[in-house]
């Protein structure tokens, strides 16, 4: 259990309870942590955005970059809440302008992230948001694509993550912050 879950912030307990674990989806052996029930609970959904906003407001963050698809659901309301622009990091072939891209490996396949090259200016402070961190490969690709464009990645924030991403964990030297722990073992 995370420190905050251990009594200090009851909002985290409701967020944790709103994540449904589906064994063997989309492949045998994967414990899929489904955040869609959280989206169906307006208070818990709003609290998740507010907890992030409390952490990141006033930190000089110019942009929130959300990872397709589920990072869009949390990243765009957070960008509004902290007064930052929102940058979509898309899967291939969705953006019409000039893009830079990074390929990466997933727990269940491979993929690629693309960003419009003019979405971020060199030196801007960017926060990356996704629903979940499992291997960290997606966040690693997101950090790379943003840093190649000259951004300063301040932190990667996720709703749910594997226990190893608890306080102090870094990906490519960038801190990772997660609200609640994922269930990762099939029984
Ligand atoms: O830490 P990792 O092992 O890289 O896994 C985490 C990523 O996997 C999921 O996305 P997915 O690639 O399934 O795409 P989707 O959101 O478009 O369904 C999740 O939303 C994260 O982006
Ligand atoms: N275990 C998991 N649950 C939900 N999304 C994921 N993406 C990668 N691994 C995942």
- What are 175-185's pLDDT values in tens digits? 999 999 998 87
- What are 79-138's pLDDT values in tens digits? 999 999 999 999 999 999 999 999 999 876 789 999 999 999 999 999 999 999 999 999
**Is residue 3 very low, low, confident or very high in pLDDT (cuts 50, 70, 90)?**
very low
Q: Higher confidence at residue 185 or residue 15?
A: 15
Ligand 2 centroid from CA 50, angstroms: 23
Has residue 6 got a pLDDT over 70?
Answer: no
pLDDT of residue 167: 73
Q: What global pTM score does this model have?
A: 0.94
Ligand 2 centroid from CA 137, angstroms: 11
Q: In residues, how long is the chain?
A: 187
Q: Higher confidence at residue 54 or residue 169?
A: 54
Question: Which tokens sit at 101?
Answer: 């891209």
Ligand 1 atom 12: the closest Cα is on which residue?
A: 106
Cα 119 to Cα 87: distance, rounded to the nearest angstrom: 6
- What are 65-83's pLDDT values in tens digits? 999 999 999 999 999 999 9
Ligand 1 centroid from CA 131, angstroms: 8
Ligand 1 atom 5: the closest Cα is on which residue?
A: 134
**Ligand positioned closest to the Cα atom of 186:** 2
Cα 158 to Cα 132: distance, rounded to the nearest angstrom: 5
**Is residue 166 very low, low, confident or very high in pLDDT (cuts 50, 70, 90)?**
confident
Among 28, 30, 141, 158, say which to mutate for ligand 2: greatest number of ligand atoms within 8 Å of CB.
Answer: 30
Q: What is the mean pLDDT of residues 43-57?
A: 98
Assess whether 5 carries a catalytic annotation: no
Assess whether 107 carries a catalytic annotation: yes
Ligand 1 centroid from CA 22, angstroms: 15
Ligand 2 atom 7: the closest Cα is on which residue?
A: 134
Please give the mean pLDDT across all residues of the chain. Answer: 93
């Amino acid at each position: 259990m995370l420190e905050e879950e251990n009594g200090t912030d009851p909002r985290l307990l409701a967020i944790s309870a709103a994540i449904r674990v589906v064994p063997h989806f989309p492949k045998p052996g994967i414990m899929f942590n489904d955040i869609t029930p959280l989206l169906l609970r307006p208070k818990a959904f709003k609290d998740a955005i507010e907890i992030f906003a409390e952490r990141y407001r006033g930190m000089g963050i110019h942009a929130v970059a959300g990872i397709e698809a589920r990072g869009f659901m949390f990243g765009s309301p957070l960008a509004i809440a902290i007064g930052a622009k929102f940058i979509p990091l898309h899967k291939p072939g969705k953006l019409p302008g000039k893009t830079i891209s990074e390929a990466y490996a997933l727990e269940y396949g491979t993929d690629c992230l693309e960003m419009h090259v003019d979405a971020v200016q060199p030196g801007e402070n960017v926060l990356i948001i996704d629903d979940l961190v499992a291997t960290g490969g997606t966040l690693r690709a997101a950090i790379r694509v943003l840093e190649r464009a000259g951004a300063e990645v301040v932190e990667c924030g996720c709703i749910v993550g594997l226990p190893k991403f608890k306080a102090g964990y870094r990906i490519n030297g960038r801190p990772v912050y997660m609200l609640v722990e994922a269930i990762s073992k099939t029984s």
